[in-house]
Amino acid sequence: MQSGATLIDGNAIATTMRAELAAEITALKKNGVTPGLAVVLVGDNPASQVYVRMKGKACEEAGFYHETIKLRKETSEAELIALIERLNADSRIHGILVQLPLPAQIDTNRALHRIDPRKDVDGFHPENVGKVALGDPTGFRPATPYGVQQLLIRTGVETSGKHAVVLGRSNIVGRPMAALLLQNGPGGNATVTVCHSRTRSIGAITCQADILIVAIGKPQFVTGDMVKPGAVVIDVGINRIQDTTSERGYRLAGDVAFDEVSKKASAITPVPGGVGPMTIAMLMANTVKAARQSL
């Protein structure tokens, strides 16, 4: 793929960040604390199984104590909450992650809100949402937007005074991403516009963006004519697209039409290998932070 844009290598930056965490993990262990992460998977969603396996592997490589708890898809809400309460009380566990999506019989918000905010390394509990919005450093930033912010900082992308446009308003990416970009500090101080399914003339707005962050779950939605020349484009999406030329019968694509957008952008993340590795690195960072704050 020929590209006029600089490729933002999430794999390389995530590897650097995980190496930086290693020193802090060693220091914590000297104080008798091994960071501990519990990942809970309900059901047999194939994508979720892949993500959970990757998180477990990352924990092993980092030297964490970790538990992967798999529950049948018929698990009741009461059973899941009972497990969460057990993990809340377990001193070996500093971070609890319930893999989404959950089966229909479980109210996602009710389950996530039962996680102890001090162990909510996904940053979805209302207490952490509030802390992030207020810029309280003790709060946990959701891993994906936190990873995007680190990509911008570590590739030298200036955010201060720039117009950042976020496509998507989910509680997992869009809203917290906007909050982080607005904050006073590195990777912040931007002027932020959030677009969503009811936004009119989206292309006219995205063309104004110095920094365009796309998280809407629609493959190759953002095309070259929607991007300002020289913009920085961060593609959070990951979608399976049918591809008869591939051995697997599909290929992975982002929410951005990479080939045409990369000819106009100054820098762009690939899919895969962009935001994905950063999400796991920031989950590790949040778990180490939770362990540190438990002391």
Sheet order of strands, 95-98 included: 65-71, 36-42, 95-98
Give which of 32, 51, 45 is closest to 72, Cα–Cα: 45
Burial grade of 23 (CB within 10 A; 0-12, 13-18, 19 or more): exposed
Q: Point out the catalytic residue in the list 2, 44, 49, 99.
A: 99
207 vs 32: CA distance, rounded Å: 52
262 vs 267: CA distance, rounded Å: 7
Q: Is 55 a catalytic residue?
A: yes
Measured torsion, CA atoms of residues 238, 244, 249, 255, in degrees rounded to the nearest 10: 10
Q: Is 9 a catalytic residue?
A: no
238 vs 219: CA distance, rounded Å: 8
Give which of 234, 238, 217 is closest to 268, Cα–Cα: 234
Length of the chain: 295
Radius of gyration of the chain (CA): 19
Q: Point out the catalytic residue in the list 9, 44, 49, 55.
A: 55
Q: How far is CA 257 from CA 25, 49, 50, 201, 270, in A?
A: 39, 27, 25, 18, 10
Q: Point out the catalytic residue in the list 122, 210, 235, 255.
A: 122
142 vs 164: CA distance, rounded Å: 19
Contact residues for 136 (Cβ-Cβ < 8 A; gap 6+)? 130
C-alpha 219: how far from its chain's center?
18
Query: What tokens were used for 225?
Result: 């004519």
124 vs 114: CA distance, rounded Å: 11
Q: Is 107 a catalytic residue?
A: no
Q: Which residues are catalytic?
A: 55, 99, 122
